[in-house]
Amino acid sequence: MTIKVEIVHAPDLSTALKLPVFLERVPAGFPSPAGDYMEGKLDLNQHLVKHPAATFFVRVTGDSMIEKGIHSGDLLIVDKSLDPKDGSIVIVVLDGEHTVKQLEKRKGKLRLLPANKNYEPLEVSEPQSLEIWGVVTNVIHSL
């Protein structure tokens, strides 16, 4: 009992156009003074993620960055599209592992700094071969 099927082409609904909705009724009298100030809702994605294609979330383990407010278990927002500068908090690949450090770029020399007195800074002997995976832009810390 095979039934023939007509294929109906569907429109592309993958993009949404968001418009503000005014929920207040129009009263017979003065309009609500708030109506004029209607704005979109605040979107944390928009605030925290400038380059979605290049942004990754990374989980931290360890306490070597604690003085920068980065705790074990925190979530880092990492933007790979940004160029690392002196002072940037970065994800670097060390011994095949993703590691979070602060980058120090001075007089052509690179150092990777911890943010915890119990750890030592790391001199980068071959700056060319250092793989900087991405730049940390924000820390999300649950209280």
State the catalytic residues: 64, 101
d(CA 102, CA 76): 14
User: Per the structure block, which two tokens stand in for 136?
Assistant: 């940390």
**Which residues make up the interface to another protein (CB under 8 A)?**
1-14, 51-54, 56-66, 70, 72, 75-76, 80-81, 91, 93-94, 96-100, 114, 119, 131, 133
Please, which residue, 4 or 18, has the CB nearer to another protein?
4
Q: How far is the CB of 71 from another protein (least distance, A)?
A: 9
Query: DSSP secondary structure string, 5-27?
Result: ----PPP---S--------S---
Please, which residue, 107 or 118, has the CB nearer to another protein?
118
Contact indicator for 98, 91 with CB cutoff of 8 Å: yes
Q: How far is the CB of 108 from another protein (least distance, A)?
A: 21
d(CA 106, CA 86): 7
Please, which residue, 110 or 112, has the CB nearer to another protein?
112
